[in-house]
A and B are shown apart, each in its own frame.
Chain A
Amino acid sequence: MNVKYMYSLLAVIALFLLAYLGVEAAGLELLFGIIIPYVAVAAFVAGVVYRVMGWARSAVPFRIPSTCGQQKSLPWIKPNKFDNPFTPGAVVVRMILEVCCFRSLFRNTRNFIQEGKIAYQLEIWLWVAALAFHYAFLTVIVRHMRLFTEPVPALIKLVETVDSFFRFEILTDTIRVGVPGLYMSGLVLLAAVAFLFIRRIVIPHVKYISLPADFFPLFLIFGIAFTGILMRYFSKVNIRAAKELTLGLVSFHPTIPQGIGVVFYVHLFFVCILLAYFPFSKLMHMGGVFLSPTRNLPGNSRAVRHVNPWNYPVEVHTYEEYEEEFREKMIEAGLPVEKE
């Protein structure tokens, strides 16, 4: 047993019980269906603005881009344009590749001793799982927009169609899967989260550096995906009523329709917790990646002089000025001067 992940797991279980009992036993649909979502969205927006503006206010005194290739140098040395960007345009390309393809994560290597020498091996699985996780999550968010828009835009319908393109159907007396159409993104998300969690407890040195703040979002997202899948395929909720609630929220005419099903409120509460927790946690790397000085600065310190913006204006007394001031006294004392 490891306290680091047990606390996180217990926290998520406590949140589940809070929402479940709050709606099922105490009948607090108003709190969980309307008040908490609004508070969570407000906290998310305010938190993101606060964090990003905090980063914007921090001065960046030095050029500290991580250089992953040959810098622009003499004309006959071939520079690596995007891995060591020299111009703002190249920085933009590098940022797009970083944000969309996680290239710095792709470079992740594992080192070990082989025949007395250090050896490196490409460690690709974290990159694969991270990519799967982020894109699955994006797809999930985009296709959830069908519950927040009326009429549903064609683009969102298209994403849904693509996501449910493969029809898995298992129809036996006990297992009935396939109707409604299975979304790939939900399964990929669940699998990727499971991988990211298992990685943290199986690899010893990753386990050593993992904190409750690393496990909590994983459990929370697992809970969100799990309750979502539960609602869609197993303990079905009333989708019409669910959309009435979500649309009511986003059109500022909040209502609590009857008979949605308690799983929906648990799912919604988990999402609210994630939203409110987001700006104040490691998840804020969503904004942080754009503001990393190691990524968003061109590596041009050899060509352009960068002066620290908060340098104190130092009073300089040069030798010329010194000699100008004391020339006569220096000549009197027999000291050598540059100008007679």
Chain B
Amino acid sequence: MNDKKIFLIKDKKYIIAGLVVFIALFTFPFWYNSGKAAPGPEIKLTEKAKAAKECVMPTAYMRAEHMQLLDIWRHSVVRNSDNTYVNPSGKAFTMSLSNTCLDCHSNKADFCDKCHDYASVRPYCFDCHIDNPKEIK
């Protein structure tokens, strides 16, 4: 009888150990950040971008859909060899990441990367479009 009681207590130890491991895993984000507040990054606009005031589309749209827009641009240029984009207000742009987007937003590290790093997004755009190279015409 005493043996059995000891055995039960021993089992309880395993259960508590398992519980502790589970709670440690579950609360991983709480102790990983160790109470440090990490406010979202502030992106910097270049003087040229500030002067232009508006991007090809309104800021809210660009913030949410810029990747979609770039995808459509690529599709349009590569598949349909149409490289002129006309936005709803009638302004025409050349569809080019290097020559149009990165022309104003030439500060990739302070503009693109900041949010991408923060949100752990790794777009493959810059696999080719490295450090704002100008396309050779």
The digit string for A195-218, where 1 denotes a CB below 8 A from any CB of B, is 000000000000000000000000
Among listed A64-72, A119-127, A250-258, interface-contacting one: A250-258
Residues 240-251 of A, flagged 1 when their CB comes within 8 A of B and 0 if not, give: 110110011011
Q: A162 within 8 Å of B by Cβ?
A: no
Q: How far is the CB of A193 from chain B (nearest CB, A)?
A: 22
B62 to chain A, nearest CB (A): 11
Output the least CB separation between A173 and chain B (Å): 10
Query: B8 — which chain A residues lie within 8 A by C-beta?
Result: 59-60, 309
Whether the pair A48, B67 counts as a contact (CB closer than 8 A) is no
Indicate whether A239 reaches chain B with its CB closer than 8 angstroms: yes
Mark contacts of B21-47 with chain A using CB atoms, 8 A cut-off: 1 yes-contact digit, 0 otherwise.
Answer: 011001111101111111111000000
B120 sits at the interface (CB 8 A)? yes
Complex Cα gap A8–B26 (Å): 27
Q: Which residues of A contact B11 (CB under 8 A)?
A: 56
In the complex, per-residue mask of A307-340: 1 if CB is within 8 Å of any chain B CB, else 0: 1110101000000000000000000000000000
Let me know if A236 and B65 touch, CB within 8 A: yes
**For residue B19, which residue of chain A has the nearest CB?**
A52
**Could you tell me if B40 and A244 are in contact, using CB atoms closer than 8 angstroms?**
yes
B30 and A250 form a contact (CB under 8 A): yes
Does the CB pair B5–A309 fall under 8 Å?
yes
Beta-carbon nearest neighbor of A146 in chain B: B120
Q: Which of A79-87, A148-156, A182-190, A221-229 contacts B (4 or more CB under 8 A)?
A: A148-156
Question: Is B135 at the interface (CB under 8 A from chain A)?
Answer: no
Q: A240-B118, A241-B40, A307-B4 are in contact. Are A56 and B15 (CB under 8 A)?
A: yes
- With A56-B15, A146-B119 already in contact, the answer to whether A251 and B22 are too (CB < 8 A) is no
Binary contact readout B77-102 vs A (1 if CB under 8 angstroms, 0 otherwise): 00000000000000000000000000
**B137 on the interface (CB 8 Å rule)?**
no
* A35 within 8 A of partner (CB): no
Contact A243 B12 (CB under 8 A): no
Residues from chain A with Cβ under 8 Å of B28 in the complex: 145, 148
Number of interface residues of B (CB under 8 A): 43
CA distance A147 to B65 in the complex (A): 20
B131 in the interface (beta carbon within 8 A): no
Closest A-chain residue to B64, C-beta based?
A236
Number of A-B contacts (CB under 8 A): 111
**Is B52 located at the chain interface by the 8 A CB criterion?**
no
Q: Known contacts A145-B28, A291-B15, A306-B4; decide if A240 and B37 are in contact (CB<8 Å).
A: no
- In angstroms, Cα B80 to Cα A171, docked, is 13
- A178 and B67 CA atoms in complex are apart in Å by 10
Nearest residue (CB) in A for B75 is A171
Contact B67 A179 (CB under 8 A): yes
Is B55 interfacial (CB-CB < 8 Å)? no
A296: min CB distance to chain B, Å: 9
B36 to A, closest residue via Cβ: A251
A116 at the interface (CB under 8 A from B): no
A290 within 8 A of B: yes
Question: Contact between A45 and B23 (Cβ–Cβ < 8 Å)?
Answer: yes
Q: Quick check: A156 and B120 within 8 Å, CB to CB? A: yes
A149 touches B29 (CB 8 A): yes
B37 touches A251 (CB 8 A): yes
> Chain A residue with minimal CB distance to B32?
A149
Q: Given that A145-B28, A236-B64, A238-B64 are contacting pairs, would A176 and B72 also be in contact in the complex, using a CB cutoff of 8 Å?
A: yes
A307 touches B32 (CB 8 A): no
Q: List 27 A-B contacts (CB under 8 A).
A: A44-B26, A45-B26, A45-B27, A49-B23, A55-B15, A59-B8, A146-B119, A146-B120, A148-B28, A149-B29, A150-B38, A156-B120, A160-B120, A171-B72, A176-B68, A179-B70, A180-B67, A180-B121, A239-B119, A241-B40, A243-B40, A251-B38, A253-B37, A287-B22, A291-B15, A307-B4, A313-B1
Instruction: Give B contacts to A, CB under 8 Å.
Output: 1, 3-5, 8, 11-12, 15-16, 18-19, 22-23, 26-30, 32-41, 63-65, 67-68, 70-72, 75, 115, 118-122
Closest 8 CB pairs of A and B: A148-B29, A253-B37, A236-B64, A146-B120, A250-B29, A150-B38, A244-B40, A152-B120
Q: A residues engaging B (CB < 8 A)?
A: 44-45, 48-49, 52-53, 55-56, 59-60, 145-150, 152-153, 156-157, 160-161, 169, 171, 176, 178-180, 236-241, 243-244, 247-248, 250-253, 255, 257, 287, 290-291, 306-309, 311, 313
